[in-house]
Amino acid sequence: MKKVLFASLMLISLVAFGQKPNVVILATGGTIAGKSDAATSTKYTAGQLPIEDLLTAVPGVEDFANVKGEQVVNIGSQAMNNDVWLTVAKRCNELLSKGDVDGIVITHGTDTKEATAYFLNLTVKSSKPIVFVSAMRNSTSISADGPKNLFDGIITAASPDSRDMGVLVISNDYIYNARDVTKSNTTNVATFVAPNWGPVGIAYNGKPYYYHTTLRKHTANSEFDVASLSELPKVDIVYGYSNMDASIIDNLVKKGSRGIVFAGVGNGNIYPEALEALQKARKKGVIVVRTSRTGSGRTTLDAEVNDAELEFVVADDLNAQKARVLLMLSLTKTQNWTEIQKFFFTY
Ligand code: ASP
């Protein structure tokens, strides 16, 4: 009797084993792969450990998914660039078009994770889960947060509940959508927040639980396509402040900027000299997008700036780094500012 029970249990676990989802990890570096000389030191170097070593820190994850890793680059995300964005987006599209890949985890530094995640949210043509994972404490640090985040990322990417959610970002138990999440603190593990709309769910005991989702277009429904792109339009961010020197705007235009995202004061307001420089830029065909340096809220049309007359676009609730991503992709489609404004109310 015992033997029969054992055999049945074996059979059940073998069937279960065969049905485990296949998750691919694309590793790009960051503090999660960082190392330091001392466990309590704040001095460390990001992007040191290969993906194989990161996986040894999450024993037990193989009960939830078959996991394979690929090292794309191994850098601090302060060094992230357009080439890596395009490489990762294309690789995700390639992997997710295969029947035997159920989800992707991307390990990434925290500094610019929100921009890469939003780029993929707009360029990966799949409903399968894509989850960004990072750490604020390096792998040799006391109480490193990387292993738990990586575990949560894998189980979230492996879960069918994560389909159609757009690109997700996991940190400190919470799950955010790529559009809304931002880094809010220089060193604290609870750095990620979605200041306007909050997290979409939570990873708990090996399972993601979702409570809401974004209504904005993403992934499989996005019209942006990187398949034939080998470069992206030059778009820059200018930070507004009192008494600002506006020559930076003229210089960026001279250097070939096709779009300027202006992180203005308050509701995207602009110091008079800078406003003049932006008007000149617009007359030369540069797309100007107004956002806010406040860190939350919507930048609204025609409040204190006459956008309709100046042909300026507002970023809605996107911060400057996300607005830059959307403007770069918008410029691969059109130069028309009213069309670009529509993109900002759609994505
Ligand atoms: N500078 C690091 C990076 O963005 C910080 C981190 O990962 O937390 O790669």
DSSP string, 277-336: HHHHHHHTT-EEEEEESSSSS-B-TTSSS-HHHHT-EE-BT--HHHHHHHHHHHHTT---
Parallel, antiparallel or unpaired: strands 192-193 and 182-183? antiparallel
The CATH classification of domain 2-221, taken from the options 3.40.50.1170, 3.40.190.290, 3.30.420.40, 3.40.710.10: 3.40.50.1170
Q: Rounded to the nearest whole angstrom, what is the distance from the C-alpha of residue 80 to the centroid of ligand 1?
A: 10
Equal fold, 2-221 vs 235-346: yes
Instruction: Give the residue-averaged pLDDT of 322-326.
Output: 99
Give the model's confidence band at 6: pLDDT under 50 very low, under 70 low, under 90 confident, else very high: very low
- Asked if 112 is an active-site residue, the reply is no
Q: Rounded to the nearest whole angstrom, what is the distance from the C-alpha of residue 112 to the centroid of ligand 1?
A: 8
Give the model's confidence band at 8: pLDDT under 50 very low, under 70 low, under 90 confident, else very high: very low
Residue with tokens 């996986």: 55
For ligand 1, atom 1: residue with the closest CA: 76
Q: Which residues contact 65 (CB under 8 A, 6 or more apart)?
A: 20, 21, 22, 23, 102, 103, 154, 155, 157, 158
CA-wise closest residue to 113 among 67, 76, 152, 150: 76
Specify the pLDDT at position 42: 75
Specify the pLDDT at position 263: 98
Give the model's confidence band at 3: pLDDT under 50 very low, under 70 low, under 90 confident, else very high: very low
Specify the pLDDT at position 18: 57
Give the model's confidence band at 252: pLDDT under 50 very low, under 70 low, under 90 confident, else very high: very high
CB neighbours of residue 45 within 10 Å: 13
C-beta of residue 199 within 8 angstroms of C-beta of residue 176: yes
Judging by beta carbons within 10 Å of its beta carbon (0-12, 13-18, 19+), is residue 273 exposed, middle or buried?
middle
Range with the poorest average pLDDT among 9-18, 237-246, 336-345: 9-18
Examine the pLDDT at 9 and tell me if it is beyond 80: no
Q: What DSSP designation does 132 have?
A: E
Q: Which residues contact 236 (CB under 8 A, 6 or more apart)?
A: 252, 257, 259, 260, 261, 324
Residues in contact with ligand 1 (CB, 6 Å cut-off): 30-31, 46, 76-78, 109-111, 134, 136
pTM of the entire predicted model: 0.93
H or E stretch at 27: strand 22-29
CA torsion, points 152, 154, 158, 159, in degrees to nearest 10? 10
The number of angstroms, rounded, from the C-alpha of 102 to the middle of its chain's C-alpha atoms is 19
Parallel, antiparallel or unpaired: strands 192-193 and 287-292? unpaired
For ligand 1, atom 7: residue with the closest CA: 109
Tell me the per-residue pLDDT of 270-316, one tens digit each, with 9 for 90 and over. 999 999 999 999 999 999 999 999 999 999 999 999 999 999 999 99
Catalytic residue among 31, 112, 123, 182: 31
Q: Domain boundaries in the chain? A: 2-221, 235-346
Tell me the per-residue pLDDT of 121-180, one tens digit each, with 9 for 90 and over. 999 999 999 999 999 999 999 999 999 999 999 999 999 999 999 999 999 999 999 999
Q: Rounded to the nearest whole angstrom, what is the distance from the C-alpha of residue 30 to the centroid of ligand 1?
A: 5
Q: What is the CATH number of domain 235-346?
A: 3.40.50.40
Strand partners for 169: 132, 176
Examine the pLDDT at 11 and tell me if it is beyond 80: no
Instruction: Give the residue-averaged pLDDT of 92-96.
Output: 98
